[in-house]
Structure 1
Amino acid sequence: MDFVTTNLDWVLFCGGLVGLFLGGDALIRGSVAVADHLRMPKLLVGLTLVGFGTSAPELLVSLNAAQAGAPDVAVGNIVGSNIANILLIAAIGALIRPTATQTPGVRRDATVMLLATLAFAGLAWRGSITQLEGLLMVKSLAVFLLVVFLMGRKAAPVPAETAKPMAIPLALVFIAGGLTALVMGADALVHGATRLATQFGVPQAVIGLTLVAVGTSLPELTVSVISAIRGQNELALGNVIGSNLFNILAVLGLTAALSPLPVSPAFLRVDLPVMVGAALLLWLLTIATPRLGRLPALAGLLGYGGYITWLATNAT
């Protein structure tokens, strides 16, 4: 029976990896095709379709956690995901292929992401997010998206790719199928890896801080890595910025709009400062440098490693 169970866990683990790869590939192909048809910057598509789509796991986790009476899980999920998005995911993408920061819209979007992060930190410092504030967060995101869309339409048209892109209906099927495969693949991978780790005697605290914590960020990681390999760096950076914006303004906003969301003081000591610091670092890099290179990417990875080490040594 143990042999059969172990094999099923390996099937979940390997199947999850395959689902992540195929889903990420389909999402990128569909998103690039939509951008090409609409003559819109890939950064904008990465910010919306890709960035928000890959945040679906965070939305589900936070809403379920809040309804189950576990607000710390809802808040911790977003804080941890936003830290990982910048220090881990954006860094890995830049290590594979340095990312240009001079693309129109990058500085604007990074600035809005920083402001949203600071606003969330301020509300968290006060101790809670009210229902009215949650609604305002969601409305702020809607206004920002409208402005970005209108600015994107007024900008100079983006040249089409030399190869004829896939038709819009097929591209939308690729996007929907890719997002579904990403979410299902991440879930299968985390479940399989968690069960395997338990069988090998890995402590629950370590499992929670690594496999489960990074699990909801696997779609973003997959998309960013594949985008970087294919040279679609705008898509990768837009994915990170869009995901962080969606996590704060939509996920936390919707969660708080349904019911006031208390924020534990435990987050104020290290986690929130790290999240704000990561957002500030990315913003400074978009302002001061022409591209996100390998040196700051390596520094980000080292910083994330230090943060995870601190979590592991302070786990109760």
Structure 2
Amino acid sequence: MMYILLIIGFFLLVKGADYFVEGSSAIARLLKVPSVVIGLTIVAMGTSAPEAAVSITAGLAGSNELALSNVIGSNLFNLVLIVGICALIKPFIVDQSIMKRDFPIAILSSVLLLFFIRDDYLSRTEGLILLFLMAAYLVMTVISAIRNPITVNDMDRPLPMHTSLIYIGLGLAAIIVGGDLVVDNACRIAAAFGLSETLIGLTIVAIGTSLPELVTSITASRKGESGLALGNVVGSNIFNIMFILGMSSTVHPIASDAAAFTDILILIGLTLIIYIFCKLRRQMGRFMGAACAAAYLIYSVYIVLR
């Protein structure tokens, strides 16, 4: 039964992502905004729902030390592995609007988090600052979209608004349910084979909460929506730090440790490398995609061994 539920979970993830991307792209055309903006907002927040649910629920229970490692791990997975896989599948030109504004904000949010946990503690005040910055970022993104509308080809008729919203709703529901089925049953199968809970948590569960971003970005990339794919990843990373950690630490302050500090340093370092490469080359090719995948593999070995 576990194997059947695992297959159903993967099916829901794939089909849900297909509908989610289709609906999101249609809304972008209807509103005459670049798909990257939809990726940075609606898609990013939607695919980060599992991380938000896990972290905020842990905060309400007063045991949200897990929230920090969950967010850092998800951000590394998003930026390094997902972008790498998308580039391997289909090399893409990097949207320059992301490079000018959103990518630097993702880097600065990680640096700010590193500064906040220098005392091994993320306080309620710091959480409120993160939430304020998230609100400011969303306002800035919406204003930018309004000021820079795109021209929609009359021959390219998008889905009606109500149909697009249905696609997004059903797609997101399928992604979340599918992700839960995959994580739960993969954990049961792994446990049946005698794998430790620690190893399962560091691998299957951490990757499982980022499955929506992975499937959505790959689907968007294959459909030629590279702006939506990269926007989803960058937007999710910003959302994870500013909103999820902001909300979690506001509910209950988060304790940190030296390992988390090191992981954030690794996240900042890899983000800077990818940013500089994209800035110089203006594209993500298969070579860089393979390098990103290799870097994530090395990091995975490191966290298992330490």
TM range (shorter): over 0.9
Map of 1:293 onto structure 2: 285
Cα root mean square deviation, aligned: 1.5
- Tell me by how many angstroms 1:102 deviates: 4.0
Q: Are 2:196 and 1:216 equivalent residues in the alignment?
A: no
Q: Shift of residue 157 of structure 1? A: 2.1
Could you tell me how far 1:259 is from its partner in structure 2? 2.0
Aligned to 2:115: 122
User: CA contact under 8 A between 1:20 and 1:182: conserved in structure 2?
Assistant: yes
Secondary structure (helix, strand or coil) at the match of 2:194 reads coil
List gaps (5 residues or longer) in structure 2: none
Residues paired across the two proteins, number = 306
Distance 2:293 2:98 in 1: 25
Offset from partner CA, 1:263-304 (integer Å, 9 cap, x none):
223312x31211111221232233222111111211111110
Shift of 1:156: 4.5
Q: 2:81 aligns with which of 79, 83, 88?
A: 88
TM-score, length basis structure 2? 0.96
CA contact (8 A) 1:130 1:257 kept: yes
SS at match of 1:177: helix
Q: Deviation string for 1:75-117 (max 9, x for gaps)?
A: 1000000000011111101111112124434431101111111
Q: Point out the more displaced range, 25-34 or 276-285.
A: 276-285
Q: How does 1:39-78 map to 2 (within 5 A)?
A: 39-78=32-71
Partner of 1:278: 270
- Percent sequence identity over matched residues? 33
TM-score between both structures, scaled by the size of structure 1: 0.93
Question: Does 1:191 find its partner at 2:177?
Answer: no
| Equivalent residue in structure 2 for 1:253, among 246, 251, 262 | 246
Aligned-residue offset at 1:262: 1.9
Q: Which moved more, 1:231-240 or 1:137-146?
A: 137-146
Structure 1 unpaired stretches of 5+: 1-7
Residue of structure 2 aligned with 1:15, choices 8, 14, 38: 8
Amino acid in the other structure paired with 2:139: L
| Alpha carbons 1:31, 1:45 under 8 Å: kept | yes
1:164-214 Cα distance to aligned partner (Å, 9 max, x none): 111111111111111111111011011111111222223333322211110
Check 1:263–1:186 CA distance in 2 against 1; reply closer, same or farther (3 A cut).
same
Q: Please identify, of 243-252 and 64-73, the stretch whose mean Cα deviation from structure 2 is larger.
A: 64-73
Amino acid at match of 1:17: F
